[in-house]
Chains A and B, each alone.
Chain A
Amino acid sequence: MLDLDRLTPEQYRARYEALQEAARARAAAPPPLPAISNIPDDAVVKRESIPAGWYVALRIKRGDAIRISNPAGTPGAAIFLWNADDVSERYNAGDTVKLQWTTNLSTGKLLFSDMGRVMASITADSGAGHDSILGANSPKQAGGGRNGRDNLRLAAAKFGLTRQDVGPCLSLFSSISTDEAGRFHYNGAPPLGAMVELRAEMNLFVALSNTPHPLSGAATASGPIEFVTYHAPPPAPEDFCRIASEEAARGFINTDELFQ
């Protein structure tokens, strides 16, 4: 067996480059997306609308899903996740993009915790773009009004948590790109009716804030964010998200250990 503490730099490099090559090959040939299913009425747990500038603090059980829609095309909605069974485990923005080799989070991609586990899978997405680099807006960007940072803290407080427990978050419905020079660009508000669905892969506390992306130029949301939580069908072993990559498979090994 390899002694990983004693390889040569060339051997370490070869291991890294093989992983990178595999990730690039997967990115170059994405598999066909699964069809977006209708939610049966008898599976619905909760259906609600979040007014502009407000937030919800939700409990979502492992196996349930949340489908979030943006009828008015408001420019962003911030979300943060905690493991409801151990709130020291929480969404990790850096790991989420690093482990999947991309900042493009869409169907088949995963939201990772700081413990190398999958918190949620993106099981459906209309493709509006979601940003995990810049995150929620601040009081300053909101002109002193209701804002993502404070909303995530308020939602955290509803679970007995504090600002210590809120880390870098994910801004849904936020299309950001970078140019060759390394500068960020905001690619405009999402289309009316944009949608994204997350399936909980562990029991979750979720903070969801209807507040704009920091680069959107908008101080306030332009409409409601709607969501429905429901009992999703149990994922099959060949589930699209679970087999999306070797990293995904390893993340689910770590996650499933919690429930064995």
Chain B
Amino acid sequence: MTVVSDVVVPARAPFSATLQAGQVMRIIDLESQQAVDALFYNAYDTTERYSAQDTLAAEAAAGRKFHLGLGSVLLSNELRPMLTIVADTCGFHDTSAGACSCESNTVRFGHETRFMHSCRENFLAELGKYGMGKRDLVSNVNFFMNVPIRPNGELTVDDGVSKPGGYVDLRAEMDVLVLISNCPQVNNPCNGFNPTPIRIIISE
């Protein structure tokens, strides 16, 4: 395959790119335990976008787990395949818990965290470049983020299990606009309490 772009995204920073159908995006967790929040849109009609619930319902019906992993197909709100996970060294990618925000941080961690950077700040800034806003900020994938749903119903953010250099490969099944927030959260273990850079390689 030919590399189309190869970018290191600094800790806490956003990133976006348009993938053409057939291109593969590799997200590399350079230093380990780094959550990478991602939103996906049909590049030609962004009101068609990734749907976590439709994706998980299809995964569940197929007997698969609540974590996304190798072979998971990310569906849009029109039930169309947007991307497929075609390689994965981690096996734990959350799509239930959503992205962190300044406002939800106040509830979860106390009002003293109100002025800390968050994924939804990254997403809103990046969405603005494409003429989109908060209405367009719907469900996302949290790559490398370990969010168990336990048999008693408990849902927590646990220590990530991804290793340095761990990666996930996503093959675009349609032309897809991808927005990424290299998660800045330090109030839970999703980044090992120490946000680090990631690398994104797009190939065709």
Contacts and interface: CB of A to CB of B under 8 A. Distances in A.
User: A and B from one assembly?
Assistant: yes
B189 A13 contact: yes
Given A2-B112, A20-B156, A163 B77 contact: yes
Interface stretch (B15-23, B24-32, B82-90, B95-103): B95-103
A114 B137 contact: yes
A70 interface: no
A7, A94, A165, A184: which has the most chain B beta carbons within 10 Å?
A94
Contact of B193 (A9, A94, A114, A135): A9
B98 A98 contact: yes
B106 interface: yes
A16 B137 CA distance: 26
B106 A169 contact: no
Given A93-B98, A140-B79, A15 B135 contact: no
Q: How large is the interface on B (under 10, 10 to 19, 20 to 34, 35 or more residues)?
A: 35 or more
B155 A169 contact: no
Interface string B113-150: 10010001000000000000111111100000000111
Contact of B77 (A7, A94, A99, A149): A149
A183 B148 CA distance: 11
Interface in B152-202: 152-157, 186-189, 192-194
A162 B47 contact: yes
Contacts of B98: 92-95, 98
Interface string B12-54: 0000000000000000000000000000000000010001111
B56 A178 contact: no
Contacts of B136: 164
B107 A247 contact: yes
Contacts of A184: 56, 60, 66
Contacts of A42: none
A250 B111 contact: yes
B62 to A, nearest CB: 10
Contact of A9 (B56, B101, B137, B194): B194
A141 B57 contact: yes
B67 interface: yes
B5 interface: no
Contacts of B109: 15-16, 19
Nearest to B137: A114
Given A16-B187, A183-B64, A112 B107 contact: yes
Contacts of B64: 183
A214 interface: yes
A10 B102 CA distance: 22
Contacts of B96: 93-94, 97, 133
Given A12-B193, A116-B106, A163-B47, A182 B67 contact: yes
Interface string A182-209: 1110000000000000000000000000
Given A101-B154, A163-B47, 20 more contacts: A4-B186, A4-B187, A5-B186, A13-B193, A16-B188, A94-B52, A94-B98, A95-B98, A97-B96, A103-B153, A114-B137, A133-B56, A133-B96, A134-B60, A168-B139, A180-B151, A181-B65, A214-B53, A214-B61, A250-B111
Interface of B: 47, 51-54, 56-57, 60-61, 63-67, 77, 79, 96-99, 101-113, 116, 120, 133-139, 148-157, 186-189, 192-194
